[in-house]
Structure 1
């Protein structure tokens, strides 16, 4: 069952509607904002949920406010200006646009507020650090899975994320790297569906009408769009098994689809990204801080190194029939 609502979020702040928790006034409590690109889909809901469950938040050391950027770079910039005005101690940033987000980072830097990137990247060297996963690798892994199933024979379509977001750019690079090894495979269509299941379903319906059985593979840059493509295939009366389909993220419906044999996916550990970024943000404000989340034990190769690194790479986990039940049990 898809996660429809964000639970355990103390404050969701949207453009035009600001909420300042009264607890912020408590002396000694750090005030951290998490500016995420949008909360409509499950992955970022899981990310935000994990952020609110960080031990520093639940113990009262940190007052965390999650800002819903509504998939709009200007909204995110306005939210940065609000956090600067209200004297936030640090910001965790998940930008919608790799270039436009740099202005927001500059504003915070000029105000002396450290910014830690997470999940998606921004073209700025002013970030304190970045805690996320290698999207080029993910794009390569998902495309190779599709191409391997096809035996490098037949043609594919690519459903992209929002144009200009780092995940779209970098997963696209990875897609092309995998495709280069299969020169006989043509890309019949490539278009954004903005991480949306509904938009992807509409795209796939149109592409099936235009290309029919020529489409053998679907490379979707996230799970929601892969699932939309599956719905379109079913609605057209075609067999999902006749297509090689892959996405990225490991959202709940995608895990169930892996069990059903409908698609492949790679788990992006948004919880580790969120909690790791909060640890790094606290350390940027409090030099004596020791990490409180279990991310560093879960991924021992991602060393804490006193919180001083500029890059923390959260590993990808391919979803298989061997691990899918365990991953689903974590969602309960």
Structure 2
């Protein structure tokens, strides 16, 4: 017999509940995500955010969600982003993910959203026949360095050395290719500089008015102060990544001669891969300047690739003639949400919408 145990925001403040969560053989929530849940400005105390399926007091499945505010046709809408589902391997095929999904659907009045960040979760959620594709974005993955030694883990003798040697040759060609083919004309009188958290929050809070998720000063502060993935040695009892060496958040801006910010970006670097949740520029020249600086810095940090879904941002990186491939991002909404949302063309989604800003 399976039981679904729900944990609300208010219950996460109870030490006994937290002790129970971390006494399970598999953790349903990481300490980083727990801290984020407790400080989420969109969450109310009664919001259920963790759904644990137990059998004989053992965790055999769980689902987590993230409360968020969405810009809707008649004002803001409070929704739940489906942001993590796991089932014990020996229990897969028993529809436990659908069991938790139905509970979430009931508790949140059908106001659910998710993306195709995890293809496995995407397939499970779509099996419920409760969702429609809301919009699709055509993005790009730009390769800054050769990923051969990371993507191909061969076991024969000397393979690691050969792949690293091949990476070195390809990286040298990458560097020459960028130097000869870059078509960016940048004004070096404008400086690229690091931003502190306060400056970024102030700058970002006045932009992105047509993004899907409502983001104001408290939301940006929350995102920056409570990331889901940090730097450190991974904890194997949590089935998703939440600690890794080399993770960091970069905030960079272009400032003109008058000291005014004319472009800025927030970059997430995780496991040698990067994303840009937020990017803005007042003029294209500043966007090119910022892009040039980001490409140089990420290359120096030995980041393998950069994934961007926003076409207004990819156009700057295309100018650098980086090797690239097309990638897609799908946004799904529950049937009930269709009548609450603007037309998809009203939105200008950014890569920081929803829960993907944390992953």
Q: TM-score, normalised by structure 1?
A: 0.34
Greater helix fraction, Structure 1 or Structure 2: 1
Structure with more relative contact order (C-alpha pairs < 8 Å, separation 6 or more): 2
Indicate the structure with greater strand content. Answer: 2
